[in-house]
Chains A and B, each alone.
Chain A
Amino acid sequence: MSKQSQRVERDLTMSRGMVEAIAHEMRENDEVFYMGEDVADYGGIFDSTQGLLDEFGYDRIMDVPISETAYLGAAVGAAQEGMRPIAELMFVDFFGVAMDQIYNQMAKNTYMSGGNVSVPMVLTAAVGGTYNDAAQHSQTLYGTFAHVPGIKVVVPSTAYDAKGLMHNAIRDDDPVLYMFHKRLMGIGWMPAPDGPKTPVPEEDYTIPFGSADVKREGEDVTIVTLGLHVHRALEAAEQLADDGVDAEVVDLRSLVPLDTDTIVGSVEKTGRLVVVDEDYRSFGVTGEIVATVADESLAALDAVERVAVPDVPIPYARPLEQEVIPDVDDIAAAVERTQ
């Protein structure tokens, strides 16, 4: 095997990037396995396990009963035995039926054992709206999971990031929540924007957690965001460029750990901060990022704007959902207000 990286000539969808990392890790380590509902024959409702059954069989790509407390808790138990399970929560919205295993067991066992127990598992979950699936199937809940100590929280926005972050997630000795946005996966029945399909190297590589990615450089304003809204922010930045506003777009890629240096460095350069989030506004990502910058570098801040879902459940009807989920115009307008 040549150490030299081949020049990449292929573009993958985000789901393919994610699945490629899982397949690689499963080949390398017999103790990696995947559990979830409809992950075997169906290949994951959002293509998260597409093609894996053929290679690895039902014993390692396991369909499980609709019993999230049992199988997410079982992942915790298997991880504590030293295996490296990946368990899928089909929609992040279903977290309630297994929240104790996630919030009180998976997240805290390492701490409560004084570091004597590790929980090397990955919890995958589909997040996000924009397709009229209403209040119980459209949330992102980034803030809910980043809030509790003990879970690393990862949110890819491109195929390249999805693969590198998944490699890192499976190899990490702590529990990692890997939140993939349905709209970015490249599913046939839910067209993705152009951005998430990117060149992806064939070989394995990791993207360290806590390394935000500047997806667009700019001088006038910093837009900090994640997931689907990276692409909406980039589109807004293109529009703003026509008006002579040069926006920098920072893709967090992970919430826990948070890359404070990149965020603060960017704001110190631009002086203006717009945080965009598809989660609820109050007590969430937007407030956390603003507070972090204020803590670290208050003098650098000339203007701050938050763009998030106003504190309402995600509504069903198209005009209502479009009203509450931030779009390109909402981001552009917020940037204009900072100028």
Chain B
Amino acid sequence: MYADMVTARHYEERLQEEYLEGKQPAFDISAGPIPGELHLAAGHEASGAGVCQHLRDDDTVTAPHRPHHVAIAKGVDLKRMTAEIFGREIGLGKGKGGHMHLFDPEVKFACSGIIAEGCPPAAGAAMAAKKRNTDSVAVAFLGEGAIDQGAFLESLNLAAVHDLPVVFVIEDNDWAISMPKERVTDVQDGSQRAKGFDMPGVRVDSDDAVAVYEAAGEAIGRARDRNGPSVLELQVHRRMGHFMGDPETYRSDEDQDAAQARDSIERLAETLRGHGVDDATIDSLREAAHDRVEEAIEWAKEQPQPEPEAAHEDVWVNPPSGVTDTEPEYDLAGGDD
């Protein structure tokens, strides 16, 4: 868990450095080695690590537009994910998806850039597990800004009606871009939404990775034991802007300082020390994580760009060319015409 968290934090710090290259002094979103939007999740690490600790490769995770910490904790191939963010041919999506659209079917990870739209597919993965009678589960991550979206509320109802093995994890970082929580919803906690669908809703109010781990264990265990869906809300914090380049003029200095002060990673290190883990072990975990990140970034940058012509591929699995030629699964009866 600690390794996942320090990997994610260092990864984001390094991505930020790479991203800003070519965007100084004037910030041009389309310049530099990583163009386009970049949503970093510094301050969210406890959520990804604490939840995914309970998940296996055959469990499905859907993440939103701020996906890196969850992807790392779920075991997504770090090198190929990095290559995707750099837009390389060997990236997870051959350079077609970018940082908000990472798909790693090996570990059943996906993410989407549209708010709350990962919830229905997670319910669908849970439906498949139930129909196939396996004990896999699905987890949908969403932000607190997404709890007012139809896709989330409809998915809660569907999961409740069909008793689906899915957990909806709300990462509450207090901000929907520039809109504070209290301006867009009247409930104190997003986990209260669960009551309306007659399922458990639990909130972890701290940045304590251990508390997250315990609460997630209960929720995921419930799903795995076929005791139905639930909502888990985790208080995280946004240490950076909504996206790189966000001036955050709408945010008070106090709020930013508070976010910087609450560091779940340092907190977990303290907990580990309290349990007799020595500094040398903690340092070596952190150094190994840093090395892994550096290796992934260096490797990704050396990979070739895609050929422009590749833009025309992968729209279809079975490309239509006039007539779609599918192999019949059975011998057609009738004549030889």
Tell me the A residues contacting B by CB distance below 8 Å: 37-38, 40-42, 45, 63-67, 69-70, 93-94, 96-97, 130-137, 188-191, 310-313, 315-324
Q: Tell me if A312 and B148 are in contact (CB < 8 A).
A: no
Closest to A134 in B: B98
Beta-carbon contacts of B194-208 to A below 8 Å, as 1s and 0s?
Answer: 000000000000000
CA distance A190 to B185 in the complex (A): 32
How extensive is the interface on chain B, given as a class?
35 or more
| Most chain A CB within a 10 A radius of its CB, from B88, B93, B151, B177 | B177
Q: Known contacts A134-B97, A136-B113, A322-B308: does B27 contact A66 (CB below 8 Å)?
A: no
Q: Nearest residue in A to B144 (C-beta to C-beta)?
A: A66
Q: Give the complex CA separation of A189 and B306 in angstroms.
A: 26
B312 interface hit (Cβ, 8 Å): yes
B contact residues around A38 at 8 Å (CB): 176-179
Interface string of B265-301 (1 = CB under 8 A from A): 0000000000000000000000000000000000000
Which A residues are CB-close (under 8 A) to B105? Answer: none
Chain B residues contacting A69 (CB-CB under 8 Å) are 150
In the assembly, what is the distance between CA of A45 and CA of B310, in Å? 32
- Are A320's CB and B179's CB within 8 A? no
Can you list 29 A-B pairs with a CB-CB distance of less than 8 A? Answer: A41-B178, A42-B250, A63-B183, A65-B145, A65-B185, A66-B116, A66-B145, A66-B146, A67-B150, A69-B150, A131-B29, A132-B36, A134-B97, A134-B98, A134-B100, A189-B245, A191-B26, A310-B311, A311-B315, A313-B96, A316-B87, A316-B95, A316-B96, A316-B97, A317-B96, A320-B95, A320-B311, A321-B311, A324-B312
Task: Evaluate contact between A136 and B100: CB separation under 8 angstroms.
Answer: yes
Answer whether residue B35 sits at the interface, using C-beta atoms and an 8 A cutoff.
yes
Cβ-based interface call for B337 (8 A): no
In the complex, B173 has a CB within 8 A of chain A: no
Q: Cα distance A134–B113 when bound, in Å?
A: 9
* 5 shortest interchain CB distances as A-B pairs: A317-B87, A316-B98, A317-B95, A132-B36, A132-B35
Chain B residues near A (Cβ < 8 Å) = 26-30, 35-37, 84, 87-88, 91, 93, 95-98, 100-101, 112-117, 145-146, 148-151, 176-179, 183-185, 245, 249-250, 305-312, 315
Known: A37-B176, A42-B178. 4 other contacts (CB 8 A): A65-B148, A65-B176, A191-B26, A318-B35
Asked whether A191 lies within 8 Å of B312 as measured between CB atoms, the reply is no
Check B30 against A130 for contact (C-beta < 8 Å).
yes
Known A-B contacts A38-B178, A319-B305, A319-B307; A134 and B101 likewise in contact (beta carbons under 8 Å)? yes
Q: Is the CB of A136 within 8 A of B112?
A: yes
Q: Which residues of A contact B35 (CB under 8 A)?
A: 131-132, 318
Contact of B149 among A42, A97, A131, A311 (CB under 8 A): A97
How far does the alpha carbon of A219 sit from the alpha carbon of B37 in the complex, in Å? 42
Contact of B184 with A188 in the complex, beta carbons under 8 Å: no
| Chain A contacts for B307, CB-based, 8 A | 319
Q: How far is the CA of A40 from the CA of B183 in the complex (A)?
A: 11
Contact yes or no, B184 A66, CB < 8 A: yes
Instruction: Evaluate whether A313 and B315 lie within 8 angstroms (CB atoms) in the complex, with A135-B101, A319-B307, A322-B308 already known.
Output: yes
* Distance of A174 Cα from B328 Cα, bound (Å): 51
Distance in Å: Cβ of A132 to nearest Cβ of chain B: 4
The residue that B27 contacts in the complex, of A41, A93, A97, A188, with Cβ under 8 A, is A188
A190 partner residues in chain B, CB cutoff 8 A: 28-30
A15 to B: closest C-beta gap in Å: 16
**Alpha-carbon separation in the docked complex, A191 to B37 (Å):** 15
Dominant secondary structure of chain A at its interface with chain B: loop
CB distance from B112 to the nearest CB of A (A): 7
Q: How far is the CB of A96 from chain B (nearest CB, A)?
A: 7
The answer to whether B30 and A65 touch across the interface, beta carbons within 8 angstroms, is no
- CB contacts (< 8 Å) of B37 on chain A: these are 133, 137
Residue in A65, A97, A132 whose beta carbon sits within 8 Å of that of B184 in the complex: A65
Known contacts A313-B315, A324-B311: A135-B96 contact under CB 8 Å: yes
User: Which residues from B are CB-within-8-Å of A67?
Assistant: 148-150
User: Given the complex, which residues of B lie within 8 Å of A322, measured CB to CB?
Assistant: 308
Closest Cβ neighbor of B85 among chain A residues: A316
Q: In the complex, which residues of chain B have a beta carbon less than 8 angstroms from the beta carbon of A320?
A: 87, 95-96, 306, 308, 310-311
On chain A, the residues within 8 Å of B98 by CB distance are 132-134, 316-317
Bound complex: CA of A189 vs CA of B241, how far in Å? 14
Q: Which of A41, A94, A315, A321 has the most CB of B within 10 A?
A: A315
The residue on B at minimum CB distance from A313 is: B315
Docked CA distance A261–B291 (Å):
65
CB pair A97–B185 under 8 Å, yes or no, is no
- Say how far B38's CB is from chain A's closest CB, in angstroms: 10
- Chain A: CB-nearest residue to B95: A317
CB distance from B18 to the nearest CB of A (A): 14
B308 contacts which chain A residues (CB < 8 A)? 319-320, 322-323
> Nearest A residue to B30 by beta-carbon distance?
A131
Q: A16 CA to B277 CA in the complex, in Å?
A: 59
Complex CA gap A7/B233 in Å reads: 59
A182 nearest CB neighbor, chain B only: B29
The answer to whether B315 and A316 have CB atoms under 8 Å apart is: no
Q: A323 touching B36 by the CB < 8 A rule? A: no
B117 touches A316 (CB 8 A): no
Establish whether residues B151 and A316, one from each chain, have CB atoms under 8 Å apart when the complex forms.
Answer: no
Residue of B93, B184, B312 touching A64 (CB-CB under 8 A): B184
A105 to chain B, nearest CB (A): 15
Q: Give complex CA distance A317, B99 in Å.
A: 11
Cβ of A319 and Cβ of B151 under 8 Å apart? Answer: no
A283 vs B145: C-alpha distance in the bound complex, in angstroms?
36
- In the bound complex, residues from chain B placing their C-beta under 8 Å from that of A310 are 311-312
A130: B residues at CB distance < 8 A: 30
Task: Determine the distance from Cα of A189 to Cα of B20 in the docked complex, in whole angstroms.
Answer: 12
